């Protein structure tokens, strides 16, 4: 398995992974390092960064390096400083994996305007800012690959995620524009839309999820971060724009071809869930 991964990742010499201290981002960093890529992990929590570096270094292939940089990806100044340092020390990366994201589920009437602004800041601007920080260097070199992380909730609006889903929809839109503008310049763009994934963030979500959402989610398959990371790397290897791990592929196809049917299915699921709740 490891030998196969080394061959697979020869085309990713140096990757920056934002949000790489936990969840899907950390799983990506581990697979990248194991496969022979050098990796720079960017996150805001210093303790988690140090722990992630230790874990990634333990599996890295010979000749690869692991670097860390502390930065809040919603802070343009911090990201610029972190990326400037990484580039000065290690050169321009070949790939940028944007894996920052957070959901704060709840009923729509419980959210404040600030909640919407914060969700957009974290999930959308937390993707835009790192991308814009590296983009001039990719353009100057004439190559690079930006890999953004959206969600299945970025193409299907899900009850309880009124702040999160729109931000993830925006990530897909941003990625589409990037692809069209950057392809003539030799720069690739991908966006991954994983379904429910077993991460620390998902565990926190479950504490706040509306009951209807919990009931509906029981029917879906919960993916492990490693499975999502592997699917993302497979998509990157193939140059796939829209990467759909697990059940996301079926969901996307249904939404694209039969949007009315998808709405009726969701309506029926919600009706059954509310009946179970006694509503």
188 carries an active-site annotation: no
Between CA 62 and CA 124 the distance in angstroms is 35
3-class state of residue 69 by DSSP: strand
Q: Alpha carbon of 147 to those of 107, 212, 213, 230, 253: distances in Å?
A: 31, 32, 28, 13, 21
pLDDT range class, residue 206, cuts 50, 70, 90 = confident
Q: Which of 26, 53, 60, 168 is catalytic?
A: 168
pLDDT range class, residue 254, cuts 50, 70, 90 = very high
User: What pLDDT score does 272 carry?
Assistant: 86
3-class state of residue 179 by DSSP: helix
User: What pLDDT score does 4 carry?
Assistant: 43
164 carries an active-site annotation: yes
Question: What angle is formed at CA 86 by the lines to CA 84 and CA 91, rounded to 5 degrees?
Answer: 95
What's the mean per-residue pLDDT of the chain? Answer: 93
Domains belonging to the chain, first-starting first, are 2-277 (3.40.50.720)
How many residues appear in the chain? 279
pTM of the model: 0.92
Place of tokens 């009706």: 271
Contact status, residue 193 vs residue 156, Cβ threshold 8 Å: no
Q: Dihedral through CA 27, CA 123, CA 72, CA 32, nearest 10?
A: 20
Q: What is the pLDDT of residues 134-143, one digit of tens each?
A: 999 999 999 9
User: What pLDDT score does 211 carry?
Assistant: 82
pLDDT at residue 5 tops 80: no
Q: Which of 26, 164, 188, 190 is catalytic?
A: 164
User: How many CA atoms does the CB half-sphere of 165 hold within 13 Å?
Assistant: 14
User: What pLDDT score does 9 carry?
Assistant: 60
Kindly report which listed range (4-13, 106-115, 187-196, 262-271) carries the lowest average pLDDT score. Answer: 4-13
Q: What is the pLDDT of residues 132-179, one digit of tens each?
A: 999 999 999 999 999 999 999 999 998 899 999 999 999 999 999 999
User: What pLDDT score does 10 carry?
Assistant: 66
**269, β-bridge pairs:** none
Q: What is the pLDDT of residues 52-72, one digit of tens each?
A: 999 999 999 999 999 999 999
pLDDT at residue 121 tops 50: yes
What DSSP character marks residue 183?
A: G
Radius of gyration of the chain (CA): 19
Determine the average pLDDT of the residues in 235-241: 97
Place of tokens 């290897």: 237
What distance lies between CA 25 and its chain's CA centroid? 7
């Amino acid at each position: 398995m490891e030998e196969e991964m080394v061959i697979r990742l020869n085309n990713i010499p140096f990757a920056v992974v934002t949000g790489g201290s936990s969840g899907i981002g950390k799983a990506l960093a581990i697979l990248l390092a194991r496969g022979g890529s050098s990796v720079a992990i960017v996150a805001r929590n210093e303790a988690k960064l140090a722990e992630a570096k230790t874990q990634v270094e333990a599996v890295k292939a010979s000749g690869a390096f692991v670097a860390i940089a502390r930065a809040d990806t919603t802070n343009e100044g911090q990201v610029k400083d972190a990326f400037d340092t990484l580039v000065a020390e290690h050169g321009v990366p070949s790939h940028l994996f944007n894996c920052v994201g957070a959901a704060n589920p709840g009923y729509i009437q419980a959210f404040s305007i600030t909640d919407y602004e914060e969700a957009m800041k974290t999930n959308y601007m937390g993707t835009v800012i790192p991308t814009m920080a590296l983009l001039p260097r990719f353009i100057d070199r004439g190559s690079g690959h930006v890999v953004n992380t959206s969600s299945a909730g970025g193409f299907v609006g899900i009850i309880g995620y009124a702040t999160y889903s729109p931000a993830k929809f925006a990530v897909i839109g941003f990625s589409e524009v990037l692809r069209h503008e950057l392809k003539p310049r030799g720069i690739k763009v991908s966006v991954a839309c994983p379904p429910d994934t077993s991460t620390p963030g998902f565990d926190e979500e479950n504490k706040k999820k509306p009951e209807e959402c919990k009931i509906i989610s029981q029917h879906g398959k919960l993916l492990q971060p490693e499975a999502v990371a592997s699917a993302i790397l497979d998509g990157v290897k193939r140059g796939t724009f829209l990467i759909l791990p697990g059940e996301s592929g079926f969901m996307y196809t249904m939404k694209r071809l039969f949007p009315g049917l998808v709405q009726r299915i969701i309506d029926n699921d919600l009706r059954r869930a509310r009946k179970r709740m006694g509503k």
